[in-house]
């Protein structure tokens, strides 16, 4: 009964925003591992190397998507279940994207 | 029930403080690594980071206990709400301290090659400890606060209705299970890396 009353728009926005954060971190990691120039561009803080850029830009990407969707979906009726599926898929993909043997499959030289 | 939790948290804090103070009595600890004084800088920070990681796993179990208690007698929502907020704060602190330790692992602010834990592991007979374990740990450790943030948003969205809403409880339990797995794997990798080469 309660399930009909609760507006899940904000939760859906959070799931998508969180999922984008994870995916962005994973994709930036693959990009920096495969392209030296991308790795150098992501080096914001020398002691951390490209890791600093991957985390910073990944979190910013997700936060921007979360913020925009929060305002778009906050008053709309939505089912957060699909958002959870997206978040879980993003988490699994993002974990695969930081698994070095997987990235090595795409290395050309 | 709340009094018991307060007493348990207080006892844990007092005993943790005692162990931390005891480290000051250890003379020359850390000799054999970079320098004897490194124990008071890098190593004690690494020990506290690992200790906080262990507390995070225990906190996740406490929230799981709250879920079970809620199923038995309908209570436990406060424990879940407060527990999830505390987990979120501690996981963020844990990730930030991990990022700082990663900079030391790479060679510190000087970036001196040949003397960092990373270069020692890469030159050893087990370079995969860096190539696979550390490369994964540095990222999946950051994924944990994001998962716990989702848990907190679920609790905040449903509020007191969380107790009666099966869908909310299912979503929360799935996220909790994911947080436990990702935290335990990160913790295990950290323990193995530290066992291979201490900071």
Question: For residues A85 and B116, is the Cβ–Cβ distance under 8 A?
Answer: no
Average pLDDT, chain B: 82
**pLDDT class of B38 with cuts at 50, 70, 90:** low
Closest residue to B164, CB basis, from A2, A8, A21:
A2
Q: Which residues of B touch A47 (CB under 8 A)?
A: 103, 106-109, 111
Say yes or no: A48 contacts chain B, CB-CB below 8 A.
yes
pTM above 0.95, yes or no: no
ipTM above 0.90, yes or no: yes
Question: For residues A10 and A73, is the Cβ–Cβ distance under 8 A?
Answer: yes
Q: Which pLDDT score, from 0 to 100, does residue A31 have? A: 95
Residue B164, domain extent: 36-196
> Average pLDDT in the B129-138 region?
93
Would residue B1 count as lying in a domain? Answer: no
CA A22 – CA A18 distance, rounded (Å): 6
Contact B140 A95 (CB under 8 A): yes
**b/e for B55-78, b at 16 or more Cβ within 10 A?**
bbeebbebbbebbebbeeeeebbe
pLDDT digits (tens, 9 = 90+) for A41-72: 999 998 899 999 999 999 999 999 999 999 99
Would residue B14 count as lying in a domain? Answer: no
Q: Which pLDDT score, from 0 to 100, does residue B18 have? A: 73
Q: Which pLDDT score, from 0 to 100, does residue A7 have? A: 79
CA dihedral sign of residues A90, A91, A93, A98: positive
> Average pLDDT in the B36-57 region?
77
Closest residue to B165, CB basis, from A6, A29, A84:
A6
Closest residue to A18, CB basis, from B99, B146, B168:
B146
> Average pLDDT in the A84-96 region?
97
Q: Which residues of A touch B154 (CB under 8 A)?
A: 11
* Packed helices A80-96 and B135-158: angle between N→C axes, nearest 10 degrees: 170
Would residue B82 count as lying in a domain? Answer: yes
Q: What is the tally of structural domains in chain B?
A: 1
Nearest one of A105, A91, A103 to A32, comparing CA atoms: A103
Question: For residues B60 and B176, is the Cβ–Cβ distance under 8 A?
Answer: yes
> Average pLDDT in the B101-125 region?
76
Asked if pLDDT for residue A85 goes beyond 90, the answer is yes
Share of chain B above pLDDT 70, in %: 78
Nearest one of A89, A81, A66, A88 to A10, comparing CA atoms: A66
Size of interface A-B (CB pairs under 8 A): 88
Nearest one of B53, B57, B70 to B1, comparing CA atoms: B70
Q: Which residues of B touch A88 (CB under 8 A)?
A: 174, 178
Count of CA atoms in the C-beta half-sphere (13 A) of B81 = 13
Say yes or no: B10 contacts chain A, CB-CB below 8 A.
no
Closest residue to B102, CB basis, from A48, A54, A80:
A48
CA B97 – CA B189 distance, rounded (Å): 16
| Long-range pairs, B149-154, Cβ under 8 A, ≥24 | B149/A14, B149/A18, B149/B88, B150/A14, B150/A15, B150/A18, B150/A87, B150/B175, B151/B63, B151/B84, B151/B87, B151/B88, B151/B175, B151/B176, B151/B179, B152/B84, B152/B85, B152/B88, B153/A10, B153/A11, B153/A14, B154/A11
- The residue of B42, B100, B143 whose CB has the most chain A CBs within 10 angstroms, and thus the best one to mutate to test that interface, is B143
Query: Would you kindly state where each structural domain of chain A is located, as residue ranges?
Result: 2-101
pLDDT digits (tens, 9 = 90+) for B110-120: 545 556 888 88
């Amino acid at each position: 009964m309660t399930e009909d009353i609760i507006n899940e728009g904000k939760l859906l926005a959070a799931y998508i925003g969180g999922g984008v954060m994870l995916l962005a971190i994973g994709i930036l990691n693959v990009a920096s591992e495969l392209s030296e120039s991308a790795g150098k561009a992501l080096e914001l803080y020398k002691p951390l190397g490209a890791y600093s850029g991957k985390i910073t830009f990944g979190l910013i990407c997700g936060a921007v998507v979360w913020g925009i969707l929060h305002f778009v979906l906050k008053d709309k009726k939505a089912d957060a279940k699909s958002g959870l599926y997206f978040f879980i898929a993003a988490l699994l993909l993002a974990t695969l994207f930081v698994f070095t043997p997987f990235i090595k499959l795409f290395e050309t030289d | 029930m709340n009094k018991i939790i307060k007493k348990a948290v207080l006892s844990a804090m007092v005993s943790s403080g005692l162990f931390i103070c005891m480290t000051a009595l250890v003379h020359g600890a850390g000799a054999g690594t970079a320098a004897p004084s490194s124990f008071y800088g890098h190593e004690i920070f690494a020990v506290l980071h690992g200790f906080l990681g262990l507390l995070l796993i225990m906190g996740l179990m406490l929230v799981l206990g709250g879920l079970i208690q809620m199923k038995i007698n309908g209570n436990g929502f406060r424990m879940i709400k407060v527990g999830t907020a505390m987990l979120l704060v501690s996981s963020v602190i844990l990730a930030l301290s991990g990022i700082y330790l990663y900079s030391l692992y790479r060679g510190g602010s000087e970036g001196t090659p040949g003397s960092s834990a990373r270069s020692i592991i890469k030159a050893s007979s087990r370079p995969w400890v860096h190539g696979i374990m550390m490369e994964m740990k540095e990222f999946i450790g950051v994924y944990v606060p994001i998962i716990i943030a989702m848990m907190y948003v679920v609790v905040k969205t449903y509020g007191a209705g969380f107790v009666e809403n099966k869908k909310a409880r299912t979503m929360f339990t799935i996220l909790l299970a994911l947080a436990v797995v990702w935290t335990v794997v990160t913790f295990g990798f950290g323990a193995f890396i530290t066992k291979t080469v201490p900071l």
